[in-house]
């Protein structure tokens, strides 16, 4: 039943949640055991048999339980829920023994009132029913409050974790969006250099670039990119660079085939390879060699590297946008323990190592 007064600032609603009327298994067990124990305690003070007392206390307990659940199922705003439940149990403790006594005397209330033993038995049962009923109701309310608090805590934790993951995904998409134009502009700049220098390689390289972009661009936008996708991108990029400087570049891919299905942020490895070409091999007069590898030292860690024999760290320009954002992207994808380490290669060159935690990403 719902009632609403026009012009009120709030709507007062009274509803009955029928699903909460059904007693739980634990409630039934508690009521039965308590009724049987009360019958034992009350037996010395009455002339009733144990079965009669057990039946009466069980009836009273079931009525109190129904009243407790009904008060909880009735959504009203007159009094607090806990007060309504305690009041319902108290009233049930008073009325249920009266029903039993009236049933005993055939519904003749005058007989009941004129019988000192019946009145005394009523007050004895009613008093115990109210005391035990209120105590059990308080215990149930405390357990219910604790369960609600735990449920709310779990819900808050879930929402917080969801928000953290959404923020990390948004950060990853933002950083990827920053890197993609950076990569394309660098590649187009290489083609421009060939065209401006009048190199006959300009047209074949430009054609290869178009073919590469047609194959690579769909993979750059994959939400579920894998290390295998990244390997293909790196392979296509190096083949393009090989056409531009066939006498100055050699490379080798040493990625464990068993790792190709692992999820991996798009263009992360490609960023290191492009950085090695642009800042290591290109400035070196004799060019150089690039090794790209990936392995899993343990079941929970991943190690990737890009090593070149270019000009080395000391002669390299300051890292561009791609390299500066790479570690942030890896942390957003693999967790805070992800790290990028740069070290020099003797006699000249640079090595970039990625150490990633697969467990943190799966969690």
For the chain, give the secondary structure using H, E and C. CEECCCCCCCCEECEECHHHCCCCHHHHHHHHHHHHHHHHHHHHHCCCCHHHHHHHHHHHHHHHHHHHHHHHHEECCCCCHHHHHHHHHHHHHHHHHHHHHHHHCCCCHHHHHCCHHHHHHHHHHHHHHHHHHHHHHHHHHHHHHHHHHHHHHHHHHHHHHHHHHHHHHHHHHHHHHHHHHHHHHHHHHHHHHHHHCCCCCHHHHHHHHHHHHHHHHHHHCCCCCEHHHHHHHHHHHHHHHHHHCCCCEEEEEEECHHHCCCECCCCHHHHHHHHHHHHHHCCCCCCEEEEEEEECCCCCEEEEEEEECCCCCCCCCCCCHHHHHHHHHHHHHHCCCCEEEEEECCCCCEEEEEEEEHHHHHC
Q: Are residues 204 and 351 in the same domain?
A: yes
Tokens of 328: 């942030």
Per the domain annotation, does 78 fall within a domain? yes
Q: Are residues 149 and 57 in the same domain?
A: yes
Boundary (domain end) residue, out of 129, 158, 187: 158
Q: Are residues 74 and 206 in the same domain?
A: no
Q: Are residues 151 and 219 in the same domain?
A: no
355: domain CATH number is 3.30.565.10
**Contact assessment for residue 29 and residue 54, using Cβ atoms and an 8 Å cutoff:** no
Say how many C-beta atoms besides its own lie within 10 A of residue 269's C-beta: 24
Per the domain annotation, does 172 fall within a domain? no
Q: Are residues 129 and 68 in the same domain?
A: yes
Tokens of 36: 């049987």
Q: Are residues 286 and 226 in the same domain?
A: yes
Run means of pLDDT, 10 residues per run, the chain, 363 residues: 42 56 75 79 76 81 81 77 82 83 79 79 80 79 82 80 63 52 65 76 73 61 76 85 86 94 86 88 91 91 94 61 73 85 90 84 53
Residue 349 is part of which domain span?
199-362
Q: Are residues 204 and 154 in the same domain?
A: no
User: What pLDDT, on a 0 to 100 scale, did the predictor assign at position 6?
Assistant: 42
Tokens of 66: 């129904």
Helices 116-196, 202-220: crossing angle, 10 deg rounding: 180
Closest Cα partner for 338 from 313, 308, 302, 310? 302
User: What pLDDT, on a 0 to 100 scale, did the predictor assign at position 289?
Assistant: 95
Omega of the bond leading into 347 within 30 degrees of 0 (cis): yes
Closest Cα partner for 179 from 286, 69, 269? 269
Provide the number of structural domains found in the chain: 2
Boundary (domain end) residue, out of 125, 158, 191: 158
Q: Are residues 139 and 227 in the same domain?
A: no
Per the domain annotation, does 49 fall within a domain? yes
Per the domain annotation, does 64 fall within a domain? yes
Q: Are residues 210 and 327 in the same domain?
A: yes
Q: Are residues 205 and 307 in the same domain?
A: yes
Per the domain annotation, does 338 fall within a domain? yes
Q: Are residues 75 and 211 in the same domain?
A: no
Boundary (domain end) residue, out of 108, 131, 158: 158
User: What pLDDT, on a 0 to 100 scale, did the predictor assign at position 3?
Assistant: 41
Per the domain annotation, does 265 fall within a domain? yes
Place of tokens 């290390």: 227
User: What pLDDT, on a 0 to 100 scale, did the predictor assign at position 9?
Assistant: 44
Q: Are residues 265 and 154 in the same domain?
A: no
Per the domain annotation, does 244 fall within a domain? yes
Per the domain annotation, does 118 fall within a domain? yes
User: What pLDDT, on a 0 to 100 scale, did the predictor assign at position 236?
Assistant: 81
């Amino acid at each position: 039943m719902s009632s609403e007064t026009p012009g009120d600032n709030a709507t007062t609603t009274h509803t009955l949640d029928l699903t909460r009327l059904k007693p739980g298994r634990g409630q039934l067990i508690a009521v039965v055991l308590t009724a049987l124990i009360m019958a034992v305690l009350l037996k010395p003070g009455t002339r009733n048999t144990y079965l009669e007392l057990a039946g009466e206390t069980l009836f009273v307990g079931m009525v109190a339980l129904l009243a407790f659940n009904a008060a909880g199922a009735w959504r009203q705003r007159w009094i607090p829920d806990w007060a309504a439940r305690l009041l319902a149990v108290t009233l049930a403790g008073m009325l249920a023994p009266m029903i039993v006594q009236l049933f005993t005397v055939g519904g003749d209330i005058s007989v009941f009132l004129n019988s000192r033993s019946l009145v005394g038995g009523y007050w004895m049962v009613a008093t115990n029913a109210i005391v035990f009923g209120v105590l059990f109701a308080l215990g149930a309310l405390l357990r219910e409050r604790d369960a609600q608090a735990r449920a709310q805590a779990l819900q808050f934790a879930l929402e917080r974790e969801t928000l953290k993951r959404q923020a990390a995904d948004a950060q990853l998409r933002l950083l990827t969006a920053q890197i993609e134009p950076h990569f394309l502009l660098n590649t187009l700049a290489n083609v421009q250099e060939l065209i401006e220098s009048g190199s006959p390689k300009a047209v074949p390289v430009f054609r290869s670039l178009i073919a590469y972009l047609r194959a690579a661009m769909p993979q750059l936008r994959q939400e579920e990119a894998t290390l295998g996708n990244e390997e293909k991108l790196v392979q296509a990029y190096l083949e393009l660079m090989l056409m531009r400087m066939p006498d100055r570049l050699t490379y080798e891919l040493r990625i464990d085939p068993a790792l190709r299905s692992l999820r991996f942020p798009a263009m992360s490895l490609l960023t290191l390879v492009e950085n090695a070409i642009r800042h290591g091999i290109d400035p070196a007069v004799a060019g150089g060699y690039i090794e790209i590898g990936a392995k899993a030292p343990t079941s929970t860690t991943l190690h990737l590297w890009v090593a070149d024999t270019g000009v080395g760290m000391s002669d390299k320009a300051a890292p561009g946008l791609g390299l500066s954002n790479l570690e942030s992207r890896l942390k957003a994808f693999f967790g805070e323990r992800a790290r990028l380490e740069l070290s020099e290669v003797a006699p000249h060159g640079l090595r970039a190592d990625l150490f990633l935690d697969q467990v943190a990403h799966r969690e």
